Amino acid sequence: MQAFLEYTLGGIAVGMIYAAIALSLVLIWRGTRVLNYSQGGMAMFTTYVAWLVIRDTGNYWAGFAVALASGLVLGAVLERAVVRPTEGKSPLNSVIVTIGLLIFLEGLAGIIYGGQYRSFPAAFSVTGLKVGSVALGVSRSDVFTAAAVLAAALALAAVFRYTSVGLRLRATAFSPGVARLLGVRIGRVLTLGWALAGLFGALAGVLVTPSTFLYPNSMDSIFVLGFTAAVIGGLDSPAGAVAGGVLLGVVLSYAGGYLGSNLVLVYGLAVLVLVLMIRPSGLFSAATARRV
Amino acid sequence: MTLARHTAAALGIALVLAALSVRLSPYRDYQMAEVAAYVVAVAGLTVLIGLSGQISIGNGAFMAIGAYASALLLLHLGWPLELVFAASAVIAALAGAIFGVAAARLRGPYLAGATLMLAVALPSVAGQYQGIFGGDQGLAVTIITPAFLGASFPPTRWLAWLTCAAALITLVLLANLSRSRVGRSWRAIRDDEIAASLAGLNVARLQILAFVVSAACAGLGGALLAVVTGIVAPGAYTLTLSIALLTAAVLGGLGTLPGAVWGSLVLVLVPSYLTNVAAGHGLSGGASSSVPIAAYGVILIVVMLVFPTGIQGGLRRLFGPMTPDAGILRGAPRRRAAASEHQKEGSV
């Protein structure tokens, strides 16, 4: 029972990181039907930027803010420079180009920062919290992680719902052609979508790296699990992405806890294949997606 | 007819390669063997992407399956080499079939993501079952140069012969497959899935078949590479390998078998060159070994955006009218038109 509680809470905390990656994928997929395979590479790169800032200034929050800002900029720049030219071509082109971006960013990080593992600080203490004598299996840092992703997701939902920018984002996702006819500057909206995706990726990067170390491939496994979470959520539903992330986090936490943690990625792959075989459109139907 | 023509061409190339391997230094023979091993894997991938229009970013994982299968078969059962290679291809094909059945319902980005996950997840299996797979150290693979070649026959030359023979056989089989009914069906599905299914093609089954063929090629390539390098370790079968295979296929020209050869040549010869150049310019060891990785990315992006037909497409444009192979000549404009239509076919 004790272990069950720890696995559940720990799974939710990790799941929120998958949710952040999943959200970043969904933001791009909705607008352009492009799956951004470079998302993990982008998050790794912005985390290196944060690492530099923290090392030089000694201030965690400065690094945190710079990571988010550089995520925004990186997303926008990559969309304009590399992804835009694939528009209107076969989907294979965008898959190959974003894979190219991923390996380019990983190579570039290796050239600039070297391949060694670096430790990355956490914002808060990583020692486990207790209620009375009962260990909860989560730390202050985990609580911050979950809260930060949740806050960002809620902010995103508010932007979607209550602002005119959000309306344009939704209109573009719903029907780019009609949105264009109604005067939405589709190009700008798509760039904004990539920028927001870069922000969520960067957030996931700084939040997860304290527990994984920082190296050029450090986000690979987080990315594929985030992808799985997005698929569980149906790929075009932000709410589904968050739910999918938490669900995957909890399931993998049980699997890792009860069966051994070395094969977590294999369990993740099993979950992905199962979901795709049983319900390829995701567990959360697209109807809810339209409302968000 | 095509089988006879392809076989004759392969025999001719085999003679040239054999003559070449005698003149080359042992190190160049070794590189030749490496190229041949990659050609097998890249050819399977280029057929999958270029002909059937599906994409796999996980063929490095199928190479790992073939490599471990061959190492275990040699180590525990001591099977003859040709049997080991065939078995490795079959085992990888089985793995591909299991995965392909699950993946057949998936459109491009889903399949790419699922195979990407396979590539990331599989190396952890080797760490979990250390007793079988030897953990991070991996398994040693040793083969003996046959006695009839004489005691002074260089082992690297035998490796080059072995792998080049396997590569040529694979290329002949793939060339026939792509000219056959199956190959035509793959192109039909690639260009218009709905039309193909209305014409009576079983889209799912054909797509799984393409995936299985590419997995079998990757498995054979992995088995060959295991024999060439003499070791199978999880560190060699990372996501980077899978993306390197993709880079070779894209650079050579998707869907073209000669392109797989050009791409594999680049894959073997260029990274060590780039690493040396970078180290010569004062980069540290870790940093200079990342230069080829960044270069893969640049190649993938630039080729896809600027000249999507790759090296083979460029060669065809340069030398097309003079190519002696009339079949390619007649086929070329038609195929190019189909390819560009394929590019235009919108992002749905």
Chain B positions in Cβ-Cβ contact with residue A114 (cut-off 8 Å): 284, 286-287
**Tens digit of pLDDT for each residue in A238-287?**
888 899 999 999 998 888 888 877 788 888 888 888 887 777 677 775 54
Q: Between chains, do A110 and B99 touch, taking CB under 8 Å as contact?
A: no
From the options 1.10.3470, 1.10.287, 1.10.10, 1.10.1790, give the CATH code of A2-120+132-291. Answer: 1.10.3470
Among the ranges given (B16-20, B126-130, B232-236, B240-244), the one the predictor scored with the smallest mean pLDDT? B126-130
Residue B339 has pLDDT above 70, yes or no: no
Among residues A51, A3, A49, A43, which one has the least CA distance to residue A24? A43
CA distance, residue B126 to nearest chain A CA (Å) = 10
Percent of chain A whose pLDDT exceeds 90? 29
**Tens digit of pLDDT for each residue in A77-95?**
998 888 888 887 777 888 8
- Of A34, A224, A263, nearest to B128 by CB-CB distance is A263
- Of A82, A92, A224, nearest to B55 by CB-CB distance is A92
pTM here is: 0.86
What ipTM score was computed for the predicted complex, to two decimals? 0.85
Q: Between chains, do A221 and B120 touch, taking CB under 8 Å as contact?
A: yes
Fold of B2-344: ABC transporter involved in vitamin B12 uptake, BtuC (1.10.3470)
Closest CA in chain A for residue B250: A96
Chain A positions in Cβ-Cβ contact with residue B61 (cut-off 8 Å): none
Per-residue pLDDT, B337: 39
Chain B positions in Cβ-Cβ contact with residue A112 (cut-off 8 Å): 287
pLDDT confidence of B305, banded at 50, 70, 90?
Answer: confident
Helices assigned H by DSSP within chain B: 2-23, 26-52, 59-72, 81-103, 108-128, 130-133, 155-179, 181-191, 193-198, 203-229, 239-252, 257-280, 285-306, 310-319, 326-344
CA distances from A280 to B120, B228, B347 (A): 21, 41, 19
CA distances from A119 to A15, A213, B108 (A): 22, 5, 36
> Taking the domains of chain B in order of start, what are their residue ranges?
2-344
Other CB atoms within 10 Å distance of the CB of residue A288 = 15
Per-residue pLDDT, A49: 93
> Taking the domains of chain A in order of start, what are their residue ranges?
2-120+132-291
**Tens digit of pLDDT for each residue in A129-156?**
777 777 777 788 888 888 999 999 899 8
CA distance, residue B318 to nearest chain A CA (Å) = 24
pLDDT confidence of A171, banded at 50, 70, 90?
Answer: confident
Q: How many CB pairs under 8 A join A and B?
A: 187
Per-residue pLDDT, B324: 44
Residue B159 has pLDDT above 80, yes or no: yes
Per-residue pLDDT, A61: 92
Per-residue pLDDT, A102: 93
How far is the C-alpha of B160 from the C-alpha of A169, rounded, in Å?
A: 57
